[in-house]
């Protein structure tokens, strides 16, 4: 399979605040809602790639948000210095779709919270109605690469692609799958979601496989980890590990290979930090998959509200 062309990188973007409002709300299943956001400023949003991250900014106090805007690119130290009652809530999400011609951006949100308890962003999304105001933080110009919050970058030599994650990775994986065109690549995607009714219709390229793995109340990762193990064995990627993987501490695991690395396999794995660490041990330690062939991304940690 081949990837859709990426825009040429001219300069690293500046990240800026975009005023927007909710244009439409669509329930996608028991656990997901899609919000279509719009606003004249979004016509200048710097769209970059299929798994592009951006931030929703929920203001507790208009004065606090105004102070961040006034600092421009130096907003983060000001954010840290703000009193708790003024500090906006900032949460990271994935661009599901972007339509610059009508200044619209879609974001899919897990409704009930990834840990069973909805945090401020999930609670806001669950109650959102058309007309509600929201602020986004994202790049100010188109481009491609990590400066835009994009990690999906399989090497040209990769003939086998594996994508896997929990419900927080669903928007990125679906966007990636829909960007691929038919070709000689083998593509397998595995998505663990809360229930079977959370499965969505995705426009898959010919030859791609997408498996939905409903937990239905069992432990997180109990469906995803063995499914990833089995898929790698079926794809013939497993080998004898040369050395055991280094242990990762309590920080969120975020290991992304060099996009120029030559490899016949590329795996993109994202979701809860503990599950991603388990997958890393399984892939690198047990199956001998080269670390340079896998992007491991801890999107969130169990017990921390989204």
The per-residue pLDDT for 4 is 45
The CA-atom distances, in angstroms, between 135 and each of 48, 54, 55, 95, 109 are 19, 11, 9, 14, 15
The per-residue pLDDT for 183 is 72
Does 232 score more than 80 pLDDT?
Answer: yes
The per-residue pLDDT for 9 is 46
| DSSP state letter for 80 | H
Does 1 score more than 50 pLDDT?
Answer: no
Does 27 score more than 60 pLDDT?
Answer: yes
Number of separate helices (H) and strands (E) present in the chain: 6, 13
Summary mean pLDDT of the chain: 87
Does 3 score more than 60 pLDDT?
Answer: no
The per-residue pLDDT for 242 is 55
Q: What are the domain boundaries of the chain?
A: 15-139, 152-300
The per-residue pLDDT for 225 is 96
Which band of pLDDT confidence, cut at 50, 70 and 90, is reported for residue 132?
very high
The CA-atom distances, in angstroms, between 169 and each of 87, 94, 229 are 27, 8, 18
Give the ranges where the chain is alpha helix by DSSP (H): 62-70, 75-81, 120-127, 170-179, 224-234, 273-280
Cβ-in-10-Å burial (0-12, 13-18, 19+) of 299 comes to buried
pLDDT, greater one: 116 or 59: 59
Q: Which of 68, 62, 89 shows the shortest CA–CA distance to 305?
A: 89
Does 170 score more than 90 pLDDT?
Answer: yes
Does 234 score more than 90 pLDDT?
Answer: no
Does 259 score more than 90 pLDDT?
Answer: no
152-300: what CATH class?
A: alpha beta
Chain length of the chain: 306
15-139: what CATH class?
A: mainly beta
pLDDT digits over 7-16, tens only? 454 578 899 9
The per-residue pLDDT for 2 is 40
Beta bridge partners of 35: 25, 107
3-class SS of residue 46: coil
Q: Decide: pTM greater than 0.75.
A: yes
d(CA 301, CA 306): 9
Most confident of 48-57, 60-69, 238-247, 279-288: 48-57
Does 237 score more than 80 pLDDT?
Answer: no
Contacts of 252 (CB under 8 A, 6+ apart): 273, 298, 301
The per-residue pLDDT for 156 is 80
The region of weakest confidence among 59-63, 213-217, 238-242 is 238-242
Which band of pLDDT confidence, cut at 50, 70 and 90, is reported for residue 290?
confident
**Pairing outcome for strands 104-110 and 32-38:** antiparallel
């Amino acid at each position: 399979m081949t990837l859709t062309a990426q825009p040429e990188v001219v300069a690293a973007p500046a990240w800026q605040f975009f005023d927007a409002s909710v244009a439409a709300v669509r329930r996608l299943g028991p656990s997901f809602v899609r919000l279509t956001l719009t606003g004249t400023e979004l016509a200048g949003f710097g769209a970059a790639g299929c798994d592009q991250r951006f931030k929703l900014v929920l203001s507790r106090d208009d004065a606090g948000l105004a102070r961040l805007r006034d600092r421009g690119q130096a907003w983060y130290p000001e954010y840290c210095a703000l009193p708790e009652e003024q500090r906006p809530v900032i949460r990271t999400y994935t661009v599901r779709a972007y339509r610059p011609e009508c200044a619209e951006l879609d974001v899919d949100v897990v409704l009930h919270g990834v840990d069973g308890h909805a945090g401020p962003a999930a609670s806001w999304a669950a109650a959102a109605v058309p007309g509600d105001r929201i602020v986004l933080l994202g790049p100010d110009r188109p481009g491609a690469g990590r400066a835009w919050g994009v990690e999906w970058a399989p090497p040209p030599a990769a003939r086998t692609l594996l994508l896997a994650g929990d419900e927080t990775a669903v928007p990125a994986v679906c966007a990636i799958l829909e960007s691929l065109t038919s070709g000689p690549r083998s593509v397998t995607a595995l998505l663990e979601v809360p229930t079977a009714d959370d499965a969505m219709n995705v426009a898959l390229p010919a030859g791609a496989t997408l498996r939905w793995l409903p937990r239905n109340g069992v432990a997180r990762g109990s469906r995803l980890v063995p499914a990833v193990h089995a898929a790698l064995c079926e794809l013939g990627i497993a080998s004898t590990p040369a050395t055991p993987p280094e242990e990762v501490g309590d920080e969120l695991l975020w290991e992304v290979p060099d996009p120029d690395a030559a490899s016949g396999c590329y795996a993109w794995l994202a979701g809860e930090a503990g599950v991603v660490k388990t997958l890393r041990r399984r892939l690198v330690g047990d199956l001998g998959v080269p670390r340079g062939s896998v992007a491991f991304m801890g999107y969130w940690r169990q017990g921390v509200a989204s």
